[in-house]
């Protein structure tokens, strides 16, 4: 297996959806190819970093506006029931 072919199967490997027979070949290549090993590590770390990132805060003014809108809609919904 060549580095280029590794690249094409990167997603399947990282997501654990790779065919078991191909997986063995993939791991054999990585054991002998440091660049591919590092790229796989980097990709995993990249995904982890985005997953764990703190989300944005709502602007205070918008948070108030949102909850006011929800209360108004709530009144409407439950008063007509």
36 vs 29: CA distance, rounded Å: 8
What tokens does 56 get? 């944005």
Q: Does 10 bind Zn ion (CB under 5 A)?
A: no
Does 62 bind another protein (CB under 8 A)? Our answer is yes
Instruction: Put residue 16 in one of left, alpha, beta given phi > 0 → left and psi -120 to 50 → alpha.
Output: left
Tokens of 11: 């997603």
User: What is the nearest approach in angstroms of another protein to the Cβ of residue 2?
Assistant: 6
Q: By CB under 5 A, is residue 3 in contact with Zn ion? A: yes
Q: Which is nearer to another protein, 24 or 67 (CB)?
A: 67
Q: Which long-range contacts (CB under 8 A, 24 or more apart) does 55-62 make?
A: none
Q: Is 36 in the site for Zn ion (CB under 5 A)?
A: yes
By CB under 8 A, the residues from 25 to 54 that bind another protein are: 33-35, 38-39, 41-43, 45-54
In the complex, the residues that contact Zn ion under the rule CB under 5 A are: 3, 33, 36
């Amino acid at each position: 297996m060549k580095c280029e072919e590794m690249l094409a199967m990167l997603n399947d490997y990282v997501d654990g959806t790779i065919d078991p027979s191909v997986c063995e070949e993939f791991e054999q290549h990585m054991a002998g190819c440091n660049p591919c090993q590092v790229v796989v590590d980097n990709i995993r770390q990249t995904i982890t970093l985005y997953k764990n990132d703190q989300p944005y805060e709502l602007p205070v003014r918008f948070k108030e506006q949102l909850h006011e809108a929800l209360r108004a809609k709530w009144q409407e919904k439950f008063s007509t029931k």
